[in-house]
Amino acid sequence: PSVKAKTPAPFQKKIFQPLEAGKVPADVVEPLKGIQKAMVKTMTAALMIPHFGYCDEIDLTNLVHLRKQLKDLAKSRGINFSYMPIFIKAASLALNQFPILNAHVDDKVENLIYKGSHNIGIAVDTPNGLLVPNIKNVQLKSCFDIATELSALQERAGRNQLTPTDLKDGTFSLSNIGSIGGTYAKPVILPPTVAIGALGKIQVLPRFGDHDQVVKCHLMQISWSADHRVIDGATMARFSNLWKSYLENPSMMLLDMK
């Protein structure tokens, strides 16, 4: 079983008419334009980056219970509160200790620019395709601020009203593919950033506790990709461990929040 993941509406366009008996539908040629054309350009540039992959399993059992309380509190203030604001804030707290993962690589690959702001990009499935708007200055924001901005971004994305400001200056990204389904992924870095994480679906599964007893756990897989020209595996693993420890012991986030 999995934690309730509402499957977002299928945005794929209908290309073919309903099948008629005995007739083969004609091929359809569609020029690539708009967001799809931009995706061709960005992904072609991303292909130049040697991607390093790193995956782990996160036990979200404590967080699932805490999120329920936060969701009720946020609802009383008129805001939807998913898991994303906590994943995003935990990433920012971890980036404080690993600023190299919040860096840009310049065009000639001669410099690393450590970015002052944590502008965390969120992959959003929109009616026109994949877009990655970012929440600016997450390092200065509470989880409630992030939830408020994420709801606004999601709403603008659903109406195709994201602005160029929403889409530019991202410094790090998260992609919640688990809200649609799946466990592991192989996310593609958005140049000039150096890292991205793909979140799998939260599932209820058995694991062994400290005394070898079987425990019911809420588990999520994380798949990171990092630019191996400038990030080594040990750095990615240490960052992931810290992010994981914030999510597995959410009270630790309180200790480090400004």
Q: Are 131 and 153 in contact (CB under 8 A)?
A: no
User: Is 134 an interacting residue with respect to ligand CAO (CB under 6 A)?
Assistant: no
- Stretch of 12-20, 111-119, 170-178, 248-256 lying at the interface with ligand CAO (CB under 6 A): 170-178
How far apart are alpha carbons 244 and 237 in whole angstroms?
10
- Stretch of 15-23, 116-124, 136-144, 222-230 lying at the interface with ligand CAO (CB under 6 A): 116-124
User: Is 225 an interacting residue with respect to ligand CAO (CB under 6 A)?
Assistant: no
Question: Both ends of the chain: CA-CA distance in Å?
Answer: 37
Burial of residue 34 (CB within 10 Å: 0-12, 13-18, 19+) is exposed
DSSP one-letter code for 159:
T
Among 102, 176, 223, 225, binds ligand CAO (CB under 6 A): 176
Q: In sequence order, what are the residues at sequence separation of 6 or more whose Cβ sits closer than 8 angstroms to the Cβ of residue 187?
A: 123, 173, 175, 196, 197, 198, 223, 224, 225
Among 100, 130, 152, 252, binds ligand CAO (CB under 6 A): 130
Among 121, 133, 170, 178, binds ligand CAO (CB under 6 A): 178
Name residue, tokens 């799946």. Answer: 182
User: Is 6 an interacting residue with respect to ligand CAO (CB under 6 A)?
Assistant: yes
Sign of CA dihedral 108, 110, 112, 113: negative
**Residues 48-107, interacting with ligand CAO (CB under 6 A):** 71, 82-84
- Stretch of 92-100, 169-177, 209-217, 239-247 lying at the interface with ligand CAO (CB under 6 A): 169-177
- Stretch of 11-19, 163-171, 175-183, 250-258 lying at the interface with ligand CAO (CB under 6 A): 175-183
The minimum distance between CB 145 and ligand CAO, in angstroms, equals 14
The minimum distance between CB 24 and ligand CAO, in angstroms, equals 30
Structure tokens at 157: 């994305």
- In the complex with ligand CAO, the residue whose CB is nearer, 42 or 117, is 42
User: Is 149 an interacting residue with respect to ligand CAO (CB under 6 A)?
Assistant: no
How far apart are alpha carbons 211 and 81 in whole angstroms?
35
What is the secondary structure of 111-143 as a DSSP string? -EEE-SS--EEE-EEETTEEE--EETTGGG--H
Among 91, 94, 122, 131, binds ligand CAO (CB under 6 A): 122
Q: Minimal CA–CA distance to 148: which of 58, 59, 85? A: 85
How far apart are alpha carbons 95 and 48 in whole angstroms?
24
| The length of the chain, given as a count of residues | 258
Structure tokens at 253: 């986030």
The minimum distance between CB 132 and ligand CAO, in angstroms, equals 8
> What residues act catalytically?
228, 232
Among 86, 93, 112, 202, binds ligand CAO (CB under 6 A): 202
Residue nearest to ligand CAO (CB): 178
The residues of the shown chain that bind ligand CAO, judged by CB under 6 A, are: 2-6, 8, 71, 82-84, 122-125, 130, 150, 154, 175-180, 199, 201-202
